[in-house]
Amino acid sequence: MKIALGSDHGGFLLKKEVARHLMVKGIEFTDFGTFDGEQSVDYTDYVWPVAFGVSKGDFDLGILVCGTGIGVAIAANKVKGIRAAICTNGYMARMCREHNDANILTLGGRVLGNGLALEIVDIFLSTSFLGGRHAARLEKIRWMELHGPDATVTNGCAADSSNAPEACARDIKAAGEATGEAVGKSAAADAGANKSK
Ligand code: RB5
């Protein structure tokens, strides 16, 4: 497994801990900086090599750290194919892999203690994507990425389903077959029981 690592000054100290942790565990990684916790830098400059490295397939996963984990998550998620998840506990770390197939973990160096942060890292790196219904949702995200604001969407899918991904085509077909009442009922049922879906 190859990991891409990066931070700004706000995440520098925690990134150092993460790098040490990966080294002890024998996990291969590249640290793209910053290498100075004193100098104020723009987090975007460190997100860039990590996010594009992961999206190109040069790395399996990425870990980005800034003061809060927010700026690096926003920036990384602008890159096609990136699903960056900010995590503040182990449950989020597990779910972002199992349900969202997150490929970049973002952490807040000014928010998390080292012990918790490293536990989050361990869970993130050792948990696999569950696929199934979650894969269909990721397919819809890819569809949105591909078509941007030009995609007219209904139920998360392009109205023109001629070359829609399988999940969209299936939903469009199901919506066409269902009566308005049935669609309303299933939406209400979903809203009431969506905790484990
Ligand atoms: C830097 O002061 C801080 O804004 C940055 O590390 C990060 O928290 C932004 O989201």
Q: Is there an atom of ligand 1 within 6 Å of 31 CB? A: no
Q: What is the pLDDT of residue 151?
A: 57
Question: Which of 9, 21, 66, 168 does the annotation list as catalytic?
Answer: 66
Residue 66 CA to ligand 1 centre (angstroms): 5
Provide the number of structural domains found in the chain. Answer: 2
| Nearest alpha carbon, ligand 1 atom 9 | 71
Q: Tell me which residue range forms the domain holding 148.
A: 133-196
Q: pLDDT tens digit string along 150-186?
A: 655 555 555 555 555 666 655 545 545 543 433 333 3
On the 0-12 / 13-18 / 19+ scale of CB atoms within 10 A, 88 is middle
* Whether residue 9 lies in the annotated active site: no
One domain for residues 108 and 155: no
CB 71 within 8 A of CB 103: no
Domain harbouring 87, CATH code: 3.40.1400.10
| Edge-to-edge order in the sheet of strand 61-66 | 28-31, 2-7, 61-66, 104-108, 84-86
Sign of CA dihedral 172, 189, 85, 20: negative
Q: pLDDT tens digit string along 35-82?
A: 999 999 999 999 999 999 999 999 999 999 999 999 999 999 999 999
* Whether residue 66 lies in the annotated active site: yes
One domain for residues 112 and 140: no
